Amino acid sequence: MRIIIAIDILGGKCVRLTRGDFNTKKIYNEDPLEMALKIEDNGIKYLHLVDLDGAKNRKIENIKILEKIARKTNLKIDFGGGLRTYDDLITVFNAGARQITAGSIAVTDPDIFLHWLAKLGQEKLILGADCIGRKVSTSGWLETSDKEILGFISDYRSKGVKYTICTDISKDGMLQGPSINLYKEILSHVKINLIASGGISSVKDIEDIMESGCEGVIIGKAFYEGKITLKELNNLC
C-alpha cells in the first residue's frame, strides 16, 4: 500500500484545515519545500500536494511551489487544486507532477473530465471523490453536490477511471479514525484503486486501511501533530 504524505498549501505555506474549513487554518511550516525535503529524507516516496488557494479561487495559484519541490526532491507527486483546463494539466505535468487529482470538474463538467481521461490515460488521472453525508463535495469542500459517493465512483470506474481518493470530510483533521466502513463498502461494489484520506490518527488506523484493501493512504494532521512519526511510516512502506 502506498504511504502518502499530504502537503496543503495556503498563502504559500504548509497548513492543515479541520473538516475543510478555511477558518481553522494552522500553519505547520512557512516553507513547503523544507517539509518535502524532510519527508523524503525519512524514506517516504509519495506526496499529495494540494493547492488550497487554487481550489478556493478555481485556478492554479501555487505552481512555483510544485516546480521547486519536483526539482529539488525525487518525491512522486500528485497535485490537485484549481485545475480547470487541459492546459492546466499540461502546466502541472511540466512542473513535475506524476499524477493529478481532479474532483470538482468531475462533478460540474463530466465531459471535460472524461476528455482528460482519454487524453492522459488512467495512470495519470486520479478521481477526487470527497464527501460529507455521502454527498460529493466540490470547490475545496466549500460546496456540496447531489452526487452520492458510491454511485459517483462506480460510474467513473465504468468509464475507465483506475484511481480515486476518497475523503470523508466529517473525519478530516479530527484525528478520530478513518471511515473504514465506507472504504469497505466502496471496495465491495467497485474494483478500483482506492486511496483513503481523512481521520487517520495512528499506525493502527493505517493497518486497518491496509486490511480493507485500499491501494494507498494519505496522512496529514496525524503526522504534523506527531501522532505518527515518519520512522513509523517508513516501516510500513
Catalytic residues: 8, 130
Cell 493512504 found at: 217
Cell 497548513 found at: 15
Amino acid 178 reads: P
The residues near 94 (Cβ < 8 Å, ≥ 6 apart) are: none
Using DSSP's 3-state secondary structure scheme, residue 196 falls into strand
Using DSSP's 3-state secondary structure scheme, residue 88 falls into helix
How far is 132 from 185, CA to CA, in rounded Å? 16
Q: Is the separation of the CB atoms in 167 and 130 below 8 Å?
A: yes
**79: region left, alpha or beta (phi > 0 left; psi from -120 to 50 alpha):** beta
